[in-house]
Amino acid sequence: MTAPSTPTASPAGTGADPAPPRSPAASAARPRWRGLAAPAAVLAVLALLPYSALEVPVLLDGPVNSPGSLQLLALCLVFGGLALGYDLMFGRTGLLSFGHALYVAGGAYGTRLAMSELGLDLLPAVLLALAGGAAAAVLLGAVSLRGLALGGIGFAMVTLAFAQAGSIWVQRNPGGLTGGEEGLPLPTDGVPAALVGVQNTAHVYWLALAYLALVAAVVWTAVSRPVGRIWQAVRDNEQRVAVLGHDPFRHKLGVFVLASVLGVLGGAVHLLVTAGATPHSSTPQFTLTLLVMVVLGGSGTRWGPVLGGVLFTFLDQRLAVLASSEQVHGLPEFLRAPLSEPMVVLGTLFVVAVYAAPGGVASVRRPLPWRRTGKGAGG
């Protein structure tokens, strides 16, 4: 005998019928749209910055929409994208590469040489650099990943060797192709007029923002798919992944190639933002800087690498300006000496940040331990 159903009480005093239960599809769609709300809001705010004349005296030398401020912000966005792409290997898959600069420099120098030596316009030159970078990533990645037989340090050392070889090649300037220590200026012939000149700095800023948005869309989408969970499993326990029937080598090579291609594209955008290809982008120290950005922001997190890349780049640029300012030169020697070296100040701030937030800047917003356990002043 079936028990009679009990009617659901309507809200007190309203007499209204109860709301119908949500379908599974609607319940799944709501969190998905909620997860897109924050990135969409941030993207909208950043896209509107070139229209703002807000003065920020200490942080910026002029209004937000001044050419100098927009170029600084564009550089921060580029490094935010580069750090997020690098974290796809390091934070998501556990691959410590010291050769990521090779692909960033390949994007900058490859695009520049394709324009000057082959007479290509900007877009075909970027596409050619992307194709060459992808091919190089497949070949060098396969060789580097074989070094994992010696442990994770083997992969790091092989990628470092490739990056060092590329840096030496750039420094030696064979045939006058790379410009040596001076680098190569951006040729304006094949670049769209909307991206040339101080008056078009806002367009370059939007291009850098588009690069960051593209990298974020690719990385966040990939890590939310089954392949992203396999990457995380490879990082945590590679042998278990192999037992479950997945090929760890193929997945590691795939994430290496994807991160490298994003780095090549970032190098091309960096070429436009800085109006030239610089030899610093080819050095292993450049990769180490990306690693510091990722650790500073929070490795393996959604927003951490972006925050780390933007924060590190902004401090690096502003501290360099502060070091040459009259305010610093007028200080006593014991203060003037460290403040005149931006890397000393930046390194000190990094050490303090690591001790204050071991999980990176992104971990600061997480609840405190006593709040997670339900203990506190009211508990």
- With respect to residue 370, please indicate whether it lies within any of the assigned structural domains: no
Note the helical H segments in the chain.
Answer: 24-48, 67-93, 101-117, 122-145, 152-172, 201-224, 226-236, 238-243, 248-274, 284-297, 304-323, 326-329, 333-339, 342-356, 369-372
pLDDT tens readout for residues 174-210: 988 999 888 999 988 889 999 998 999 999 999 999 9
Burial class of residue 379 (count of CB atoms within 10 Å of its CB; 0-12, 13-18, 19+): exposed
> Is residue 55 helix, strand or coil?
strand
Percent of the chain with pLDDT over 90: 57
pLDDT tens readout for residues 263-298: 999 999 999 999 999 999 989 899 999 999 999 999
At residue 77's C-alpha, the angle toward residues 35 and 201, to 5°, is 125
Looking at residue 147, its pLDDT comes to 62
d(CA 106, CA 338): 35
Domain boundaries, position 190:
63-283
Structure tokens, 317:
């640029």
Report pTM. Answer: 0.85
- With respect to residue 7, please indicate whether it lies within any of the assigned structural domains: no
pLDDT tens readout for residues 57-108: 878 888 999 999 999 999 999 999 999 999 999 999 999 999 999 999 999 9
Taking each helix axis as running N to C, give the angle between helix 226-236 and helix 201-224, from 0 to 180 degrees, rounded to the nearest 10.
80
- With respect to residue 42, please indicate whether it lies within any of the assigned structural domains: no
Burial class of residue 93 (count of CB atoms within 10 Å of its CB; 0-12, 13-18, 19+): buried
- With respect to residue 258, please indicate whether it lies within any of the assigned structural domains: yes
Taking each helix axis as running N to C, give the angle between helix 284-297 and helix 342-356, from 0 to 180 degrees, rounded to the nearest 10.
40
pLDDT surpasses 50 at 376:
no
User: String of b and e for 31-57 (b: at least 16 CB within 10 Å)?
Assistant: eeeeeeeeeeeeeeebeebbeeeeeee
Looking at residue 31, its pLDDT comes to 55
Nearest Cα residue to 321 out of 74, 59, 80, 56: 59
> Is residue 17 helix, strand or coil?
coil
- With respect to residue 203, please indicate whether it lies within any of the assigned structural domains: yes
- With respect to residue 1, please indicate whether it lies within any of the assigned structural domains: no
361 sits in which H/E element: none
Give the pLDDT band of residue 328 (cuts 50, 70, 90): confident
Counting the structural domains of the chain, the total is 1
Q: Give me the DSSP letters along 119-167.
A: ---HHHHHHHHHHHHHHHHHHHHHHHHGGGGG-HHHHHHHHHHHHHHHH
- With respect to residue 221, please indicate whether it lies within any of the assigned structural domains: yes
Q: Compute φ and ψ for 280, nearest 5 degrees.
A: -60, -30
- With respect to residue 372, please indicate whether it lies within any of the assigned structural domains: no
d(CA 290, CA 83): 5
Q: Considering the chain, what is the average pLDDT of its residues? A: 85
